[in-house]
Amino acid sequence: MPEKVVPGPISEDRSIREAVCIHTRKIFDSCRDKDCVEDLRVYPTRCSQEVIDRAQSIKAGTAELLYAYIDVEPITFNRGFYTVDVRYFYRITADAFVGAARPVQVCGLAVFCKRAVLFGSESGSKSFTSEGGENQVQCVPQSNLPTAVVEAVDPLILNLKLVDVCECRPCDCGCVDIPMAVAACFGDELVTGGDQHRVFVTLGQFSIIRMERDTQLLIPAYDYCIPTKDCSCDNDRCQEDPCDLFRQVQFPVDEFFPPNTITTTSSASSNVCGSCCR
């Protein structure tokens, strides 16, 4: 009986069953980046701004990536290439120290914009499916743009500082076009002016941007993918002793002892990027 084919490297003794044409998204171009975004202005909530105006110092907390807005536009002088404009929205938390009292947690919004240029090929076709129904007219653009996908993790706070309004840079303008879903994450009005103290944050952001387009590919097929896991739950398995299950769990050594080495991530950057305020 031949060896069962599983996903992974293919040896020479495994024969291809048939060639299959599938419809999927092909990645035409991609890039990775490690951005050090300096001095992003933080727009606090109304309650947080009242605390910041009375604060003597501030300590960094956490940064959470809430949303990334993506816009794709073709480059007229370079066929097949597109600009990908990404706007990241972050929730920044910090501890503000007012006098000798315990620190008060404050939060606000920070925005970072960057641009990448990637190859996405060309296609003049329009796609229609039967899922919309005859009563629903599908509005499609004249040119079939590729799809830009951005993968990013929560950034690292590298620095956080508290400054007087008179010390702010001339280009420090108000933040506009905040999506309603992002503003709703704070539960309070965001302050963009009329403040005495302002907070600026420096973030470290890791991201991957790729350009995808729907296409048909011819791939080798070996057999149908049949599930091997049993869905049934007999009495013996469902009533198994919980202590026996616990004994099968491996001891979490890493939770008790720090690692001897730390794995770092290297990246090559070739994108055009910048802060929200140039």
pLDDT on residue 211: 93
Q: What is the mean pLDDT of residues 55-60?
A: 91
Top pLDDT among 162 and 142 is at 162
Query: Residue holding tokens 């055009």?
Result: 272
Query: Residue holding tokens 């080798």?
Result: 220
DSSP states of 172-186: -PPP----HHHHTTT
Contacts for 13 with CB less than 8 Å, ≥ 6 apart: 3
pLDDT on residue 132: 60
pLDDT on residue 138: 53
pLDDT (tens digit, 9 = 90+) per residue, 136-155? 555 544 457 899 999 999 99
Measure the CA–CA gap between 136 and 131, rounded to whole angstroms.
10
